[in-house]
A and B are shown apart, each in its own frame.
Chain A
Amino acid sequence: MSKIDIAVVDYGMGNLRSVSQALEHVAPSKVVVVTSNPEDVASAERVVFPGQGAMPDCIRELDTRGLREAVLQAAQNKPFLGICIGLQMLFEHSEEGDAKGLGLFKGEVKRFAAKDMIDSHGEKLKVPHMGWNQVYQATSGQSQLHALWQGIESGERFYYVHSYYVKPADEGITSGYSEYPYRFTSAIAADNLFAVQFHPEKSANAGLQLLSNFVSWAP
């Protein structure tokens, strides 16, 4: 079997083709595999952990396929990119279905409180938070700009679609944040791991730049 450069973890929750296609687009010479085989996740050089749908279902399907250990291992020892629910699952607990997460990071996944949310014009804000919002790069806790933000301006817009957001216990892991209308963590960084709430695979050039940065990242 040929070596896998990038494994996209598939636990049966929806379409991962857009993620793999975007990776293939920025790294045409790399072997990108969408896989539900824990051995592929273990052997791959890099791992992308996407997710859509409801977090309790995602966790259940992950376990059904025996992927939990492989994902936890990868998250601690190789370049690892979590996307959307793939970020949320890394935390201890989610308000969505009162679900237990993988617990790699201390903190909660919380729902946007739609009824309290008003924008600067007094209009009510919708949930899901859907569309292009600005991502500000955080430097607190990090001595310099993270490698995955190279070539991307702070305040660049990325595409989001979600109703829940992460609230890390340790603010030092926040590498990016957005406002809706309150500030929430939209990217975290810790050693070999980077995870984002937005969808880089659907965020036009800015998203492709981030994926390209991930493919060449040497943490």
Chain B
Amino acid sequence: MGLAKRIIPCLDVTDGRVVKGVNFLELRDAGDPVEIAKRYDDQGADELTFLDITASSDNRGLILHIIEQVASQVFIPLTVGGGVREVEDVRRLLNAGADKVSINTTAVLNPQMVADAASRFGSQCIVVAIDAKKVENQPFEWEVFTHGGRKATGLDAVEWAKKMVGLGAGELLVTSMDRDGTKIGFNNPLNKAISDAVAVPIIASGGVGNLQHLVDGVKLGGADAVLAASIFHYGEYTVKQAKEYMAQHGIEVRL
């Protein structure tokens, strides 16, 4: 027995509140962040990821309060992403109680920021989020996109992953923009290509609709951790059920 594969519920935060998206249009208050975090912790979540989707930069600091509250009562690793632009943003989030900070668009606009943050705080707390989409018009298969999947970068996702690890990323959060929200499963070939190309752990994200998708993410996609939102938020499955299912399929999990 050895290291367990991790299950990470992802919570969206806007204007300081945890919300559930319904087709990205209607955002409903999902309840108290501490209660939600505690519930996932009780179910056996291995980590929690908070994604700040606040539109206005004025209100972006509000996530700090959520992280402070959660970190004082939930003792599992917390990752925070969304709107992280400067090394100073990383510092603020870590001081609020985040264990890892996920950097996405800024990594593309200013790769040096990843290096600076990693050398200042250690690679263990720097996650680079890669949003990738399958493309036909490029000499490679998957392209990196930014701004929530709207902006093409011309970068090969696999090469980009290697570059980010070279600059100090300690973990990669790989989201398939083709799969996100589809519930048809992770993009396993993409995840596998990146997982094989780098030495650091990979979190698979985007597309989970059922528990077999989590198993496939590990077995076919080579993921070290699987991230999911909707299957847990809407009570379709508990984290515990997901872990039991994975264990039945020969995957080592923390039960």
Contact = CB atoms under 8 A, between A and B. Distances in A.
A33 B137 CA distance: 58
A25 B75 contact: yes
B3 A208 contact: no
A128 B165 CA distance: 11
Contacts, number: 102
Interface stretch (A2-10, A67-75, A156-164): A156-164
Given A22-B75, A132-B46, A204-B76, A126 B201 contact: yes
Contact of A123 (B72, B77, B222): B222
Contacts of A126: 199-202, 224
Given A18-B71, A18-B99, A208-B75, A128 B123 contact: yes
Interface string A147-160: 00000000101011
Contacts of A132: 3-4, 6, 46, 254
Interface string B217-228: 000001011000
Contacts of B1: 134, 155, 179
Interface string A104-118: 000000000010000
A195 to B, nearest CB: 18
B201 A159 contact: no
B125 interface: yes
Interface residues of A: mostly helix, strand, loop or mixed? mixed
Residue of A53, A130, A202 ringed by the most chain B CB atoms within 10 A: A130
Contacts of A17: 71, 95, 97
Given A126-B224, A128-B170, A133 B4 contact: yes
Contacts of A127: 199-200
A131 B224 contact: yes
B180 interface: no
Given A126-B201, A126-B224, A180 B2 contact: yes
Contact of B3 (A52, A124, A180): A180
A162 B4 contact: no
Contact of B75 (A130, A162, A181, A207): A207
A140 interface: no
Contacts of B95: 15, 17
Nearest to B74: A204
B225 A131 contact: yes
A131 B5 CA distance: 8
A159 B45 CA distance: 12
Interface in B28-81: 41, 46, 71-73, 75-77
23 contacts: A14-B94, A15-B94, A15-B95, A21-B72, A22-B75, A25-B75, A52-B124, A53-B124, A114-B199, A126-B224, A127-B199, A129-B3, A130-B170, A130-B171, A131-B201, A132-B4, A132-B6, A133-B3, A155-B1, A159-B76, A161-B77, A161-B170, A201-B75
Interface of A: 13-15, 17-18, 21-22, 25, 52-54, 114, 119-120, 123-134, 155, 157, 159-162, 178-181, 201-204, 207-208
Q: What are the 5 tightest A-B residue pairs by CB atom distance, in nearest-first order?
A: A53-B122, A132-B254, A15-B94, A161-B124, A132-B4
Given A127-B199, A128-B201, A130-B124, 7 more contacts: A17-B97, A18-B71, A54-B122, A124-B196, A130-B201, A132-B6, A202-B76
